[in-house]
Amino acid sequence: METLIQQLINGVTLGSVYALIALGYTMVYGIIQLINFAHGEIFAAGGYIGVITLSLLNSRGVLESHPVLGLALAFLLAMAYCAFLAVALERVAYRPLRKASRLALLLSALGMSIFFSNGMMLCQGVYDKAYPTQLYATGQFTVGGAVVSYIQVYIVAGAVVLMVALNLFVNRTRLGKAMRSTAQDRTMSALLGINANRTITITFVIGAILAAAAGVMVGLYYGSVRFDMGFVPGIKAFAAAVLGGIGNLTGAVLGGMIIGLVEVFAAGYLASEYKDVFAFIILILVLYFRPTGIMGEQVDDTRV
Amino acid sequence: MRGFAKWTVWVVVAALAALPGWAAAKTLKIGSLSPLTGQYAADGNDIKQGVEIAIAQWEAKGGVPGYDEIEYLPQDSGCDGKQAVSAANKLVNLGVVGVIGAYCSSATLPASEVLMEGDVVMITPASTNEKVTERGHKLMFRACGRDDDQAKVVVEFLSRELKAKRVAIVDDKTTYTAGLAKNIKKFGKGKLEFVAHEHVNQGDKDFSGVLTKIKATRPDVLYMSLYNPEGNLMAIQARRLGLKAALMSEDAVYHPNYLTIAKDAGEGTFFTFGQPPSEDIPEVAAFIKAYSAKYGKPGSYSAYAYDAANILLGAVARVGADDPGKLAEAIRATRMQGASKYIQFDEKGDSGSTYKVLVVKDGKFVPYWDPETGKRY
Amino acid sequence: MATDLIRLGVVLAWGFVLLVPMLGARLGFDTFAFEWTRIWKVMGVLAVGGLLVVAQRAVSARRPDRAHAQHRSRVHVPAAWGWAALGVVAVVFPWFADNYARDVAINVLVYVTLGLGLNVVVGLAGLLDLGYIAFYAVGAYTYALLNTHFQIPFWLALPIGCVVSAGAGAVIGYPTLKMRGDYLAIVTLGFGEIIRLVLNNWDAVTEGPNGILGIKAPGIYYPVFGEGAVTFVHFYLKSLLWLYFVALAIAVVTVVGVHRLDRSRVGRAWISIREDETAAELTGIPTLKVKLLAYMLGAVFAGLAGAFFAAKVRYVNPSSFVFIESALVLCIVVLGGMGSIPGIILGAAAIIVLPEVFRGLELYRMLAFGGAMTVMMVFRPEGLIPAGRRKRELRGEAAAEGDAGA
């Protein structure tokens, strides 16, 4: 029982991270039908800016005197940086291809993914960069014998706050409305006076902000960042977005949680080395019986 | 299809450009194979830098007798057989006399087959799998220790010094880590009870699932048979889950990064590693000084790579490099104090293992237990 | 010109913001330092490059009737000449090359085979497959296992490998082909990962990450005319020279096979599915069966390439079959031009040879590779040598006008 609760906690933590990344995928897909492969690298860039900010503050002694302020600054700077990065990415690699084939767009994204991860390697080196904090040791409590550390609580709470904020933004604001209408029919909404390019840029920025937050959280949680840290979580998060029904925000969160839980339970009760296999098998099974994902609507007849 | 002929010409030009040309000067060419990109690039760079330091020192002394200059050709082998084979082919073609490398045993084994066929001497600074020197190749040498020796030390330490009973092992299934785990189980039969043996994949980041499973088996010791990035992460996550067991790991996790990343979680972790560089020995001190001046703290394989390069260059200085057989004999006859240990090769090409147990204390690696005396330092 | 300069300024400022923290911050083990020199170096390179582009644009804007001039400068060479030249080069090349160049050339041929195989799936049938390398793995492991356990020679294992790969294609294809578009992409990616992980973890059969050593090279029997009797001597084609010709043979078989498929009834069915699946179904094409066939045939070529790869390296392990390899093959197809056989040959040569040429710049080559991929997609999405049909599609109006005028 104790082990079961512990595994649930592990799975929800991991799932929150996947969900945050998956939201970015699903938003971009919803609006321009692109698998943004470089999204994982934006997530990694967020982790890097987090470690750079915290190291700077730590070396000036600020982190010790104002830890909360320091962390807030790390998150804000990472988000701002990733927003800049995402705008550049969209402008350089995706906007010129608005009318090109889907495959060209996809390969452009793949190219940017390789470019960014190697760029980060050249800038910051191949070694892991250690977060200067000891956040894993900030204390913990037990629930029914299972250990929960505060950092896990922060991650899940942070993810929930960001998801709720995103939901409100998309459903309650004018910009959100513009996003939804552009996603449904770009030409029509352009005719109605919605600037499609600007709306798409905003979508990228929001996705990047969520990924940046996830990047800093992961850096704090695992204690280090690395130039290639974005690739595998990127693929998993993409699978999560598809599993939930791509283009659907609630679906992305649900998908992220399912992938996180499946992985942890497969590692804990079956075989750890096959955990990714189980995650993908679940994905394939769901898509076989529900070809548009758990919460997805019927997609267009799309082709390459 | 228009312009196809033009493109054909371009392909031919490109193919010809790919043909390497070389100068006629009397140059001593040595190569290295290590992962310079990808997951294990950190250790791979340590190897490259170790060799560079050795070459710089030889050049400062006036070079290798009989040669005008030394040309160093570091190659990226990844941790991957295919890439290693291709890089090895390239080195054979460039006419190197010897190769330092590779890092992962899974790259060293296939690459060595190519080098042996090309009559090139190979000294691995990092691959500890037994098979490396067990295949009867006369030109194959090893500057580091062997898995089976390391496993014996681990078992002795756990059973005699720590008096541990219940041991959980995690490996990442590569040639090196899985081989080591197998040997520990073999030598530990009857002395230790192995309550769990789990596997993870290289590149995994989250081990909470498997660690929770291990925690339920109440081990006294968690043995992490992994490589560096995964080892750092596992130590943090194990402590965060409240796993009280002692942590132990091997030379592939032994790296300054373990201290900076795992921080308090790494405190008290035991490591097996070939003779910890004690700065009392002048050769070790000289190496650390030269290395730190250029690249910062030496990584765990820097000293082995440095020694391997010195062994090779020393042998070339004595007998030249025209006859690979003679060169190999000269290497086999090498007796010298290196930066990693005292070097002395046996018939198979092994240079002996000097595994000692270290512990992380106050954020530093300190010697802990000597298997020869069976006592603490 | 002026607007171009302003744009350049914005680009440089943007790049500066992105570069400062990433490139400037030097994190030691527990120290923090900041370094401006690298930032200025990179900014300098960017500024010079940007100014060159601006200057080039200013010059070309002044030159009138550019398109026409370009048209005139083209020399028309019949395709057959190109093929003949390529054939001669392919046969003569290895005799004059050293082992390293042969090794690279063999890799090119392997990727030509893979690219053409994937072309059947992506270029002809329009099914996006991100896990294609799995079939390559199946071919490689089939030969490796048959050879090391049962001593089955290469030439016998080759067809077996193809059959097993085709089987794998059917098994994977059947449940996935009901899905469309990007769902298919992620599921094929998933299957690719599953196969790699199973190879990595099913120790009893595949030896896990250690891989399988001791695979035999392809062998041939050649007759020796001795005293009154003819004896056959077995000979392993171990040297790269002989392996090159085996690879060449496989690539030629693939080229001919894909060319025939392209012109066949099935080929036309694939193209109709690619263009409009619903319409194809309405005209009576059994779409599921035809798509499955594309998948299986694509897998067959990957199986051929895989078996050869195992025989050449004489070693297989799962790390040769990672996702990035699938991306590489896809890149070859798209770079060369989807559906275009000469394009894919050129694409394979470019993708394999260029990184080797730039090996000196080891660390920068993947960066350049990624950047080039995006630049290529932005400026020439139809590929280096677009297939005739596809080109007319992508540049529809222009081509039609040109034809009318001629």
Task: State the ipTM, two decimals.
Answer: 0.85
Are C166 and C280 members of one domain? yes
Whether residue B301 is predicted with pLDDT greater than 80 in this model: the reply is: yes
Q: What is the pLDDT of residue C394?
A: 52
Cβ–Cβ gap C74/B17 under 8 Å: no
Are B241 and B133 members of one domain? no
Structure-token pair, residue B291: 């290395």
Whether residue C144 is predicted with pLDDT greater than 90 in this model: the reply is: yes
Specify whether the CB–CB gap between B14 and C349 falls below 8 A. yes
Are B161 and B252 members of one domain? yes
Q: pLDDT category, B154, cuts 50, 70, 90?
A: very high
Are C287 and C175 members of one domain? yes
Whether residue C359 is predicted with pLDDT greater than 80 in this model: the reply is: no
Per-residue pLDDT tens over the stretch C369-388: 888 888 888 888 878 887 76
Instruction: List C-alpha distances in Å: A263 to A231, B44, B56, B206, C91.
Output: 17, 31, 49, 9, 51
Architecture of the domain defined by A2-289: Orthogonal Bundle (1.10)
In a domain, C340, yes or no: yes
In a domain, B351, yes or no: no
Per-residue pLDDT tens over the stretch B161-195: 889 999 999 998 887 888 899 999 999 998 999 99
What residue type is B187 in one-letter code?
A: F
Q: Which one has a higher pLDDT value, B32 or C57?
A: B32
Q: How far apart are CA A131 and CA A48, in angstroms?
A: 9
Residues of C in contact with B3 (CB under 8 A): 74, 77, 385
Cβ–Cβ gap A130/C197 under 8 Å: no
Instruction: List C-alpha distances in Å: C31 to A129, B362, C178, C245, C278.
Output: 11, 18, 55, 56, 62
Per-residue pLDDT tens over the stretch A125-153: 877 888 886 654 567 788 878 888 888 88
Specify whether the CB–CB gap between B131 and B107 falls below 8 A. no
In a domain, C2, yes or no: yes
Whether residue C402 is predicted with pLDDT greater than 70 in this model: the reply is: no
Q: What are the backbone dihedrals phi and psi of residue B151, each rounded to the nearest 5 degrees, phi first?
A: -60, -40
Number of independent structural domains in chain B: 2
Taking residue B191's Cβ as centre, other Cβ atoms within 10 Å add up to 14
Q: What is the pLDDT of residue B84?
A: 87
Q: How far apart are CA C269 and CA C267, in angstroms?
A: 5
In a domain, B323, yes or no: yes
Collapsing DSSP to helix, strand or coil, B366 comes out as strand
The residue extents of the domains of chain A are: 2-289
In a domain, B4, yes or no: no
Cβ–Cβ gap A102/C181 under 8 Å: yes
Burial class of C203 by CB neighbour count within 10 A (0 to 12, 13 to 18, 19+) = middle
Question: Which of C11, C22, C395 to mutate: most A Cβ within 10 Å?
Answer: C22
Cβ–Cβ gap B209/A140 under 8 Å: no
Are B180 and B315 members of one domain? no
In a domain, C176, yes or no: yes
What CATH code is carried by the domain that includes residue B36?
3.40.50.2300
Q: What is the pLDDT of residue C33?
A: 86
Are B160 and B256 members of one domain? yes
Per-residue pLDDT tens over the stretch A156-175: 998 899 889 998 998 889 88
Q: What is the DSSP letter of A127?
A: S
Q: What is the mean pLDDT of residues C50-65?
A: 81
Give which of B206, B223, B205 is closest to B214, Cα–Cα: B223
Mark out chain A residues that contact chain B at CB-CB < 8 A. 2-3, 6-7, 10-11, 13-14, 121, 126-128, 130, 134, 136-137, 140, 147, 149, 218, 222-224, 226, 228-229, 232-233, 263-269, 271-273, 275-276
**Which helix (H) or strand (E) segment is B198 a member of?**
strand B193-199
Question: Which of A231, A272, A276, A280 to mutate: most B Cβ within 10 Å?
Answer: A272
Q: Which residue has the tokens 């767009």?
A: A105
Which residue is closest to C347 within chain B, CA to CA?
A: B11
- CA-based Rg of chain B, rounded to a whole angstrom? 22
- Among A86-90, B252-256, C66-70, whose mean pLDDT is lowest? C66-70
Q: What is the pLDDT of residue B262?
A: 86
Are B113 and B40 members of one domain? yes
Q: pLDDT category, A303, cuts 50, 70, 90?
A: very low
Are B196 and B249 members of one domain? yes
Chain mean pLDDT for chain C: 83
Chain B CB within 8 Å of residue C97 CB: yes
What residue type is B273 in one-letter code?
A: F
Chain mean pLDDT for chain A: 87
Are C181 and C40 members of one domain? no
Specify whether the CB–CB gap between A50 and A74 falls below 8 A. yes
Q: What is the pLDDT of residue C401?
A: 39
Specify whether the CB–CB gap between A104 and C381 falls below 8 A. yes
Give the domain extent around C2.
Answer: 1-52
Q: What is the mean pLDDT of residues C324-328?
A: 86
The pTM score is 0.83
C-alpha torsion angle, residues B249, B252, B257, B262 (rounded to 10): -20
Question: Which of C31, C73, C315 to mutate: most B Cβ within 10 Å?
Answer: C315
Chain mean pLDDT for chain B: 86
Are B163 and B256 members of one domain? yes
Whether residue C325 is predicted with pLDDT greater than 80 in this model: the reply is: yes
Give the minimum alpha-carbon distance from B330 to chain C in angstroms, rounded to a whole number: 29
A6 → closest Cβ in B41, B212, B229:
B212
Cβ–Cβ gap C27/A129 under 8 Å: yes
Give one word for A66, left, alpha or beta, with left for phi > 0 and alpha for psi -120 to 50.
Answer: beta
What CATH code is carried by the domain that includes residue C329?
1.10.3470
Q: How far apart are CA B354 and CA B254, in angstroms?
A: 15
Chain A CB within 8 Å of residue C10 CB: no
Number of independent structural domains in chain C: 2
Question: Within its chain, how far is the Cα of B50 from the centroid?
Answer: 12
Beta strands A129-130 and A224-225, pairing class: antiparallel
Q: C392 CB contacts (<8 Å, ≥6 apart)?
A: C399, C400
Give which of B364, B355, B360, B361 is closest to B157, Cα–Cα: B355
Chain C CB within 8 Å of residue B178 CB: yes
Are B153 and B135 members of one domain? no
Q: pLDDT category, A68, cuts 50, 70, 90?
A: confident
- Torsion sign, CA atoms C112, C117, C123, C126: negative
Size of interface B-C (CB pairs under 8 A): 139
Q: pLDDT category, B210, cuts 50, 70, 90?
A: very high
Taking residue B282's Cβ as centre, other Cβ atoms within 10 Å add up to 9
Q: pLDDT category, C400, cuts 50, 70, 90?
A: very low
Whether residue A302 is predicted with pLDDT greater than 50 in this model: the reply is: no
Per-residue pLDDT tens over the stretch A169-216: 988 898 888 888 888 888 888 888 888 889 999 999 999 999 999 999
In a domain, B174, yes or no: yes
Q: pLDDT category, C406, cuts 50, 70, 90?
A: very low
Cβ–Cβ gap B110/C81 under 8 Å: no
- CA-based Rg of chain C, rounded to a whole angstrom? 25
In a domain, B282, yes or no: no
HEC profile for C22-82? HHHEEECCCCEEECCHHHHHHHHHHHHHHHHHHHHHHHHHHCCCHHHHHHHHCCCCCHHHH
Q: What are the residues facing C26 on neighbouring strands? A: C33
